[in-house]
Amino acid sequence: MIAKGITVSIGTDGAPSNNRMDMFDEMYLVSLIHKGRNLNPKTLPAEKVLEMVTIDGARCLLWNDEIGSMEPGKKADLIIVNPKSPRQFASS
C-alpha cells in the first residue's frame, strides 16, 4: 500500500484487544513483522514507522492541517521517552 502511495497509519483499537494500547509495542510489531516477512531489514525503516504514527495518522483522520507534525499553528504535545525502557507503562 505504501509503495502505491496509499497513506497507512498505526494505531490501537482499544483495551479489549490487548489491554495495553502501547504505541511503542505497535510500532515495534509493525516493523518486525514486515522485515521478517520480506527477509529484508530495510523494508520498513524506523523513520517511516514514526511517520506512520504521526503525520500519516493525522492524514488518515483528515486532521493533518491541525496535528501530526511540528509546524507553526498546529497543536503540539511533548513526550519524554526513557531510553532505557521505551514503554508507556511501568513494568513490574
The pLDDT value given to residue 89: 55
Evaluate if residue 92 carries a pLDDT over 60: no
- Which of 8-17, 48-57, 83-92 comes out lowest in average pLDDT? 83-92
What's the CA gap between 61 and 59, in Å, rounded? Answer: 5
pTM, whole model, 2 decimals?
A: 0.76
**Is the distance from CB of 34 to CB of 43 less than 8 angstroms?**
yes
Residue at grid coordinates 501530526: 68
Query: Averaged over 83-87, what is the pLDDT?
Result: 68
pLDDT tens column, 10-54: 988 776 666 677 788 888 899 899 888 889 988 899 999 999 999
Tell me what percent of the residues of the chain surpass a pLDDT of 90. 43
What's the CA gap between 15 and 76, in Å, rounded? Answer: 25
What's the CA gap between 22 and 45, in Å, rounded? Answer: 20
